[in-house]
Structure formats: C-alpha cells, structure tokens
A and B are shown apart, each in its own frame.
Chain A
C-alpha cells in the first residue's frame, strides 16, 4: 500500500499544511448478512493548489470515496480533516455548511436545477449563505464570465448543450470560492471535443491556484493532473505523478 504522499512545497510554494488529510478511512455497508468493505484503510493527503485524479474501475470504491471526500457521507472509521476541521464530529447541518463553504461539486450528469436559468443555478448555493439577491446576481454573473458563458445566462438547462451545461455547473461550483473543486467524471457525458474544452478550463483554473480533485475511470483525463491515485477494491494501490509510466 502506498504511503501518504505529502503536498510538495516545490509545486505549491506557500502551501505548508495539507488541505485534506485522511487516515485509515474505511466505509462498510451491511448487505443482508454480508459486510461490504467499500473503502478499506485509505490514507491520503492533498495540499492546497494540487490537481489530483482518482482513478479506478467501477466497484473500486471511487464513488464512496467521493461521497466521503465531499462530506456527503461519513466514514465508518478513520480520521478526516478538511481544511483543519475534523469532519466526523459534524452533524448533517454542519456538513451542509462545510459543503457549501469548502467544496464545489461538478457531476457527470451536470445536476443543474431544471427550472432555473443558468444564472439562477449559479446563484443557488449563495442562497444558503444569506447573501442578498443583488449581490448573488453579481457574483453569479462574474462566475459565468469566468467559464465564458455570460452570453447564455438566461437560458434554461435544456436550452444549453452538454458542454455549456457543464460550464454552468463549474460556475456554480466556483461561485462560492470553495477550497476544493470536486469533479465526478466531469467529461463522462461529453463528446471528445467538448471534453477537451472542459479539461482546458480545469487546467486554467488549476493555474489560477484552484485545488482540483477529479474522480474518473479515463486514464487520459486523469493524466492531465499532477498526481494520479489508483483505487482498487477500496484500497489505494498506486499513487504516482502524472505522466509516469503505469508499470
């Protein structure tokens, strides 16, 4: 098993503490009489400004890991610190607040609110921060500008192409200025040209200092980051720098 891979100061000067630190994280489900170990002793550290890809086939524990990382779920065992906060002691409402403050989700199926316009979707997370309508609107417009979608603000999701929808989702994730962008197969529903555009956008965000975590099963998507962590059967089997040969 791979040891903890610390954030390297050479890549990100100024990032001296880890943004994410997981120790011996495990998640067990009971399926009838059987206990399924979806995660089994995960140790990982991710620093500020890193771009880390988690890769694994289906059933490798990827989704479970993503849920725990994104504070949607709590592990059965182990310790998880996110930006210095010990996540496991938090209740559902506090987890909701952490998700709102620290994490920007980007999903494979975009998960936009169907009845809200692009602008409305981007404004939505700010509603939970008690920000006034006018300010929300301004912040959302700025975020849409960052993903170069300011000309489609008043469109409903079903009036947008897949790539545009994903960019709305990215704007929604960015608008709260989260410490982590957490993307789950962000290009899974997109054609290769649009995928390339989205990955280019990620690259740009990374260069602007945004911490990125990608969960994917596509090697070429994973390879664009700094670091690739391979999962299999709930364990980390390899933690390597991107571009290193597989074997």
Chain B
C-alpha cells in the first residue's frame, strides 16, 4: 500500500509539474477558496485575541450591578432601581470585595462645554474607589477624593477624548468646564485606554457621586449602578451568588419572581464578544468555503479532461501490467496533491492578505491564524481533491486496455 502511494505520488508530481500552468489554473479555485477562508479567519481571530487583551486590561475581576426591568414591565410603567441603600447594604455585608463604587449617570443632559466648544460625553458620578475598580488612573492632576464627595465639590476628572473634543490645553487641570449648567473645575486627566470595538474608553467625564446626586435634585429613588472589584482570593461565582441573594432579599422578591437586577462580569462581557466573533467567523468561513467546493469541481473537470487526454497512456500502463488500483491511486493522488498544493499556496496567500488588510486599516488588530484553521484548510482541500478526484480516477481505472490503446 505504502509502495503504491509512494510511486503514485512520484508520477503525480511529475505530471503536475509537467503541466505547470494548467495545474496552477486548475487549482486556482482552491487557492482562492483557502486564501479567503484563511484571510477571514485570521482577521476575526486576531480581533478576538485583541478583545481578550483589552478586557483583561479592563480589570477581569470586576463586577457591575445594574437594575434590570424587562420591556413588558417597562411598558406598564414599572421601573426597577438600585438604590444607595443597596450600595450601603453591599458595602456592609458583602464578602470578598476589594473596593466598591456607585456610579450615577447624568440623567438630564450629557452636554459638556468649554469656552465655545461643546461636546456630548458620558458623565458619571462616582467615588474615589472607581479608580481601582475600573483601573482608571490619572495622568495629570489627581483623582476624585473622598473629601470631594463629602463636600459635594464641583470638580471633574476627564478622559483624553473629551479634552481633545473640547479643545482644552494639553494640561487641562484648573480649567473650568460646564456640565448641566454648572461650572466644574478640572482636577485630573485620565490615562488613555483606547477603543474596544470602536467605542472610545476615553470619552468619559467623572464627577463626585454626591455632587451628581445634588445636581439631580436629591431624588430619594435614584437608580444607580454599582461597580466593584473582588479581592484576590474571592471567587467570582461565590460573590455573585451572595450578592444576588442579598439583593433579592432587600428587594423583597419572592422565590418565583425574576431578578430585577443583573450582575455582569468583565469575563461575561468578553465571552459575549467572543461568541459573536466566533459566529461571524463561522458564517463568513462557511460562505467562503463554498468557493472551495467550486474549486473542487474545477479540479474534477480538468481531471476528467486529463483522463481522456491520457487514455492511451492509461492503455499502455494497463498493457504492461498496471492493475485497477494502480491507475486509481495515480489519478486520485494527483487530484489530491493538486488540491493540497492549492491549499498550501492559498494558506500563504490568505495569511498575507489578512496581514495586509489588518495593517492597512488603522486601529485594526494584527491578524493571527489558529492552528485549527490551518489544519482545517489543508484537510478540507485534501478532502475536496479526493472527493472530486474519485470520479475521474474511477473512469481511468475502468478503461478497457484494448480500447484505451486504440484511442487516438
């Protein structure tokens, strides 16, 4: 068996290289198919790897708690809330929490003004703990302090994008910006964090939590968000379960009522992105692999022509003692090698293409090909070769030696 494969490979290679141009054109379909699959996979996988890195920089052991109202409930005017009391409760009784901070989003306007420039940003009321929870550190000036919170000072820490949009000087500290009709003194500029999926993480304006509360008219029932980071030894699942039980109890939820809040972890968020990206990879990869099928048909077509063209040769081989399986193996291996060579060229081309695209688009993550994609591409192209080589090879093997010898 091995001997037959070896000899067939030898003669197949001779035949492929004897018709160099034709072999190349034959396998072009496979080349293009594999190249596009690899380009797509390398781009999306590169993106996925990049997102993984961004999220780990986001603080992978942080949790976000938000109120959650199903749409049907919202229609009836019901609104679930997370209140400062919930925050207090968690602060007092929660275990495994390193730092915790409330976040209160501006509910009227998120307009920011500096001199004649206005922009819209994400204005959040929070405390000094936000720095550790979200790993946001200041580059210039200082972060919000506890005393700012206690005295409801009108100070703000801004992100780089806001500074740029407003045309603030390189060092914006001690400048004044207008938020919701009040003047705030800039006390700090945050370090740049970059984008995640096109969303700038530097488009952010932080003010002290109490200041934000007072701006909103000290409503008793504000809806806040709680962000917390876990201590080293704490398990995400345990803390989540404990917090969930605590909040259900505080909100008087019966055993068959659903949670009126959601607890998100950075990992969950990352997993969601990963799922989306994998779906995209699969769908595009699936569509593109149809071109592999088309490439396979191209190979079958040329192999059939080649069998007809070489009928006399097949007759000669049969006359001098070739058995059915010798001829079958020769053509089958030729088709498979043709397809595999195309796959290899396509692999190189696809990787080049992916790298070229990712480096030509700014802010696009570098391409990366996982091993499974290489194995799959080569395996699939070899399979296509065998699948579409069977018919021509069987045709060749079943030729009658006398007819084949007589063929002109």
Whether B312 contacts A115 by the Cβ 8 Å rule is no
Instruction: Say yes or no: A124 contacts B320, CB within 8 Å.
Output: yes
Bound: A92/B397 CA distance, A: 11
Q: Tell me, yes or no, whether B405 is within 8 Å of chain A by CB.
A: yes
Interface size class on chain B is 20 to 34
Most buried by A among B320, B322, B405: B320
Residues 82-134 (chain A) with a chain B CB within 8 angstroms: 92-93, 96-97, 99-101, 105, 107, 111-116, 124-125, 127-130
What's the Cα separation between A101 and B320 when bound, in Å?
Answer: 9
Stretch at the interface among A30-38, A53-61, A66-74, A225-233: A66-74
Q: Closest residue of chain A to B10, judged by CB?
A: A133
Instruction: For residue A204, give the distance in angstroms from its CB to the closest CB of chain B.
Output: 22
Query: Hey, which chain A residues are within 8 Å of B15, CB to CB?
Result: 115
List, in ascending order, chain B residues with CB within 8 A of A100's CB.
320-321
A21 within 8 A of B: no
User: Does B72 sit within 8 A of A, measured CB to CB?
Assistant: no
Give the Cβ gap from B189 to chain A, nearest Cβ, in Å: 74
Task: State the majority secondary structure of interface residues on B.
Answer: helix
CB distance from B47 to the nearest CB of A (A): 48
A73 adjacent to B320 (CB under 8 Å)? no
Which single residue of chain B is at the shortest CB-CB distance from A93? Answer: B323
A125 near B320 (CB under 8 angstroms)? Answer: yes
Task: Answer whether residue A172 sits at the interface, using C-beta atoms and an 8 A cutoff.
Answer: yes
**Contact residue among A92, A114, A172 (Cβ-Cβ distance under 8 Å from B324):** A92
Q: Is the CB of A127 within 8 A of B319?
A: no
Q: Report B-chain residues with C-beta under 8 Å of the C-beta of A128.
A: 320-323, 326
A70 near B14: Cβ-Cβ < 8 Å: no
Q: Return the chain A residue nearest B327 by Cβ.
A: A96
Chain B residues with CB below 8 A from A101, complex form? 321
Please give, as numbers and ranges, the residues of chain A lying within 8 Å of B14 by CB-CB distance.
Answer: 115-116
Report B303-342 CB contacts with A as 1/0, cut-off 8 Å: 0000000001101111111111110000000000000000
Taking each of A99, A127, A176, which has the highest tally of chain B beta carbons within 10 Å of its own beta carbon? Answer: A127
Residues of A contacting B402 in the complex (Cβ-Cβ under 8 angstroms): 67, 72-73
Residue in chain B with minimal CB distance to A114 = B313
Question: Which of A67, A101, A114, A128 counts the most B-chain CB atoms under 10 A from its CB?
Answer: A128
Check A96–B318 contact: CB distance below 8 A.
yes
Structural contact, A97 and B323, CB atoms closer than 8 A: yes
Report yes or no: B405 in contact with A96, Cβ–Cβ below 8 A: no
| Chain B proximity of A232: nearest CB distance (Å) | 22
Q: A176 contacts which chain B residues (CB < 8 A)?
A: 320-321
Shortest beta-carbon distance, A104 to chain B, in Å? Answer: 8
Which chain A residue shows the least CB distance to B397?
A92
Partner of A97, one of B313, B321, B325: B321
* A114→B14 CA distance, assembly (Å): 12
B323 touches A70 (CB 8 A): no
Please indicate the chain A residues that have their CB under 8 angstroms from the CB of B372 in the complex. none
Q: Is B18 interfacial (CB-CB < 8 Å)?
A: yes
The residue on A at minimum CB distance from B316 is: A111
Cα separation A70 to B7 with both chains bound (whole Å): 25
Docked-complex contact A124 and B319, CB < 8 angstroms = no
Question: Are the C-beta atoms of B320 and A172 separated by less than 8 Å?
Answer: yes
CB pair B322–A113 under 8 Å, yes or no, is no
A147 to chain B, nearest CB (A): 16
B401 interfacial contact with A, CB 8 Å = yes
Bound-state Cα–Cα, A169 to B92, Å: 99
Query: A76 → chain B, closest Cβ, in Å?
Result: 14
Contact indicator A130/B3 (Cβ below 8 Å): yes
Question: In the complex, are the beta carbons of B3 and A96 less than 8 A apart?
Answer: no
Most buried by A among B312, B315, B323: B323
B321 & A70 in contact (Cβ 8 Å cutoff): no
In the complex, the answer to whether A70 meets B320 with C-beta atoms within 8 Å is no
Contact A99 B320 (CB under 8 A): yes
| Chain B contacts for A130, CB-based, 8 A | 3
| CB-CB nearest in chain B for A102 | B321
Max chain B CB contacts within 10 Å: which of A72, A96, A176? A96
Among residues of A, the one whose C-beta sits closest to the C-beta of B404 is A72
B401 to chain A: closest CB distance in Å?
5
Could you tell me the distance in whole angstroms from the C-beta of A111 to the nearest C-beta in chain B? 5
Q: A67-B402, A72-B402, A128-B326 are in contact. Are A105 and B313 (CB under 8 A)?
A: no
B321: chain A residues within 8 A (beta carbon): 96-97, 99-101, 125, 128-129, 176
Asked if A72 and B319 make an inter-chain contact with CB atoms under 8 angstroms apart, the answer reads yes
Shortest CB distance B405–A (Å):
7
Contact partner of B319 among A92, A93, A97, A99, CB < 8 A? A99
* Shortest distance from the beta carbon of A142 to any chain B beta carbon, whole Å: 17
Q: Say yes or no: A113 contacts B316, CB within 8 Å.
A: yes
For window 130-160 of B, CB contacts with A under 8 Å fall at: none
**Most chain-A CB neighbours within 10 Å: which of B14, B315, B325, B402?**
B402
Beta-carbon nearest neighbor of B401 in chain A: A72
Q: Could you tell me the distance in whole angstroms from the C-beta of A110 to the nearest C-beta in chain B? A: 10
Give Cα A116–Cα B11 distance, bound, in whole angstroms: 9
CB neighbours (8 Å) of B322 from chain A are 96, 128
Enumerate chain A residues within 8 angstroms of B312, measured Cβ to Cβ: 111
Q: What 7 pairs across the A-B complex have the smallest Cβ distances?
A: A100-B321, A125-B320, A128-B321, A93-B323, A96-B323, A111-B316, A72-B401
Can you list 22 A-B pairs with a CB-CB distance of less than 8 A?
Answer: A70-B319, A72-B319, A92-B323, A93-B323, A96-B318, A96-B323, A96-B324, A97-B321, A99-B319, A99-B321, A105-B319, A111-B315, A111-B319, A111-B405, A113-B313, A113-B317, A124-B320, A125-B320, A127-B326, A128-B320, A172-B320, A176-B321
* B interface list, Cβ under 8 A from A: 3, 7, 14-15, 18, 312-313, 315-326, 401-402, 405
Excluding A73-B402, A105-B320, A111-B316, 12 further A-B contacts by CB distance (< 8 Å) are A92-B323, A93-B323, A96-B321, A96-B322, A96-B324, A99-B319, A100-B320, A111-B405, A115-B15, A124-B320, A128-B326, A176-B320
Q: B-contacting residues of A (Cβ < 8 Å)?
A: 67, 70, 72-73, 92-93, 96-97, 99-101, 105, 107, 111-116, 124-125, 127-130, 172, 176
